[in-house]
Structure 1
Amino acid sequence: MGSFDIFSPDGRREIAYHRTMPAGVEGNKPGVVFLGGFRSDMGGTKAVFLEAWAKRTGRAFLRFDYTGHGDSSGAFETLGIGEWAQDAVDAVSALTEGPQILVGSSMGGWISLLLAKRMPERVAGLVGIAAAPDFTEDSMWAGFDDRQREQLIHDGRVELPSEYDDGPYVITRHLIEDGRENLVLRDPLSLGFPVRLLHGTADVDVQMSVPLRILEHADCADLRLTFVKDADHRFSSPDCLDLIVETVESL
């Protein structure tokens, strides 16, 4: 594992990463970048599985932790979509060469679309796995009751239960307000490269209407959506993992 420092007006950020650079990779481009989900880290099943595939096939591969996640610096509760998208821009700029295939899981699908808007010349293709663009607005804020909204506005935070961790997780006012500054499904979204969306019908975190909305909204000449019956939000069963690799290989 490596790390690199970014110095910005907000201070120093340390980004932890794993990078695979096989010999002769110049002849086996583009590389692949995995972008993880909300509160996840680069040690997840999908990221590690893709890395193993990349090593077997001589493909450059990058996985990293956003600030406030995993082994990177920063306090999660002080950060939001804008900071994590900037982490992704910095990681791709510093650690990869040429166009990359972005594989974005859940929130990583949103980050991938932000990267596509900010640095389209560095994107060769995009695979969204249970992609969740604009979730802070369309899922979190829209799902809050009046009490939770008032608490968020006045206290700056609200706690929500999580089925993935032992305790509740905190949603901050900054996360919601920063999310509004980075929405991708309200304005034109032009994607000049192939896009593949993978989604499970048993996903209770991101409804099937979300990838359908992306399909309808995006201006993309080569965009395909695949639903997998009974797959959940993790999308990490052996069949799902194989489908992810097949999809990346097809690009």
Structure 2
Amino acid sequence: MARRFAISPHEYISFQKYVNHSIRKKLPGLTYVNGFHSEMQNSRKVTHLINFCVNNNLDFLIFDHYAHGLSSGSFTDVFNVTIGRMYNDLCNIMKHETTNSQILVGSSMGFWLSLLVALKGEEQLKNRITGIIGIAPAINFTENILKEAKEKGLFLDESNTSPDSFYHRQSKYSPTGTYPISFHFLQEARNHLLDLKNIRNKIKFPIVLLHGKLDPDISYEETLKLASALKSDFVDNVKTILIHNGDHRLSKEQDLKILDKEIIQMIGRFNK
């Protein structure tokens, strides 16, 4: 059952949590970070991971971003629907709803948010991250959307564009056929862009990147560049898996089996 984490008197993040009460040695928990316009309800990956964690005695945390799913907020509230807001919400819910080490599983935008915690979060949070698994990672994706909007004649004069101007982007994942994306969302995201030239050797814990070669939204070549940028000169910390017939969501049974295997291997490294 979904619970509410209060952000302010009138705002909350909806979340679900499974806590392992086993007397066995405490293992890392999993925090799953959804992508943009993705929700925890009716998600095949979320349902699968809940069952996986229950069967393997692992803590599990999943939540809806602000203005997503069961959480408060609306996409018309343009000054609150931002990468910065979602990053801060992730930090807060990790801080208050998890206690042990965590493996972050970030899907699409969720991987970007997870990396922000690892690179820019408070020390107490960074030190509790055991590893990160990225599913079709989409760091800095807002720059691609801004470029796309401009090609369609929108936001051409950035200095004179109203923050609440919207680009209604076509998407096969939306029940209405489009997703509203505000100019302010794209502009604010620039405060959180990651420079691939400056993140080498910044992360030493294991990172696994899963990407489908048939992904129509984010090119797998971008993940190969990201993997190279994240590598450490001191430890073998990055693993990339390209799934031949995988799409962006990677929620087919064979995709989820690969995810399970990588989580188990990451936990095994924690126990060494």
TM-score, normalised via structure 2 length: 0.86
Partners of 1:69 and 1:187 lie apart in 2 by: 32
Structure 2 residue aligned with 1:195: 207
1:185 maps to which of 183, 195, 207? 195
Structure 2 residue aligned with 1:104: 106
2:154 maps to which of 124, 148, 170? 148
Per-residue CA distance 1:76-123 (angstroms, 9 max, x = gap): 342011111111111111110122000000111111111112132121
- After TM superposition, give the deviation of residue 12 of structure 1 in Å: 4.3
- After TM superposition, give the deviation of residue 23 of structure 1 in Å: 1.1
RMSD over equivalenced CA pairs, Å: 1.8
Conserved? CA contact 2:196–2:226, under 8 Å: no
2:127 maps to which of 121, 124, 139? 121
Partners of 1:116 and 1:239 lie apart in 2 by: 29
Conserved? CA contact 2:31–2:62, under 8 Å: yes
Correspondence 1:40 to 2:45: no
Give SS of 1:46's match: helix
Give SS of 2:205's match: coil
Correspondence 1:23 to 2:21: yes
**Alpha carbons of structure 1 residues 166 and 6: separation in structure 2 relative to 1, 3 Å:** closer
Correspondence 1:217 to 2:240: no
Partners of 2:148 and 2:114 lie apart in 1 by: 24
Give SS of 1:150's match: coil
Give SS of 1:235's match: coil
Partners of 2:129 and 2:25 lie apart in 1 by: 17
Conserved? CA contact 2:108–2:135, under 8 Å: yes
Per-residue CA distance 1:113-142 (angstroms, 9 max, x = gap): 1111213212110000001000001x2122
- After TM superposition, give the deviation of residue 191 of structure 1 in Å: 1.2
1:166 maps to which of 167, 175, 200? 175
Give SS of 1:27's match: coil
**Alpha carbons of structure 1 residues 187 and 83: separation in structure 2 relative to 1, 3 Å:** farther
Partners of 1:149 and 1:186 lie apart in 2 by: 26
Partners of 2:172 and 2:32 lie apart in 1 by: 24
Per-residue CA distance 1:208-235 (angstroms, 9 max, x = gap): 1221121121243310100000110010
2:166 maps to which of 149, 157, 173? 157
Aligned length, in residue pairs: 247
Deviates most, 45-54 or 74-83: 74-83
Percent identity of equivalent pairs: 28
Deviates most, 142-151 or 12-21: 142-151
What amino acid sits opposite 1:13 in the alignment? Answer: E
Structure 1 residue aligned with 2:139: 133
- After TM superposition, give the deviation of residue 39 of structure 1 in Å: 0.4
